Structure 1
């Protein structure tokens, strides 16, 4: 029984280190996005078993996203990066997003069954 407990403890420790590495890597991506766009804010959106999406909105209106394997890792990455998080993607955060012709044609193509550009 002691052998099993030691093995479980070692695997748990390795798992926590792996999660910390993933969070650190995501934090670097968040910081890079923020640096390119004059700062950034974000929101965490659950994707179910796929993980959690980190939606990023730059001060210049640019936007992007990253996917973390879990909500805890996404939150840790956001905290490490100093990202201001919003509870929802509406109001002031949504108003900052600037869309261009590509996004409008893509959305219209999806909505009306027209051609969507890749």
Structure 2
């Protein structure tokens, strides 16, 4: 095996383990963006129809249905979202919020915001 193959295999196993154990990048800080009305009605990665006014988000690896509390670090506004889609695909972003969630944390005019994500316990 080449070192690239070994590294890729290790990385994939680590991500799987982190997701399975519930320890992940959910409790972290990063830049969020949002996607809006132009995707209304399209299917998300979990099969639901996208509702721009809903409180949902896209994350690269968290399981669908995971609930996160997202805090805009600039203004302290918070929202609870549910992961329904995959993304973001823009470099340097950790989360894509629905328009409704972005509006709730006050980031519609800026387009992006530094946020804190906290995974909420499953009930």
- Give the structure-2-normalised TM-score: 0.28
Bigger relative CO (Cα 8 Å, ≥ 6 apart): 2
The structure carrying a bigger strand percent of its residues is 2
The structure carrying a bigger helix percent of its residues is 1
Which is greater in Rg?
1
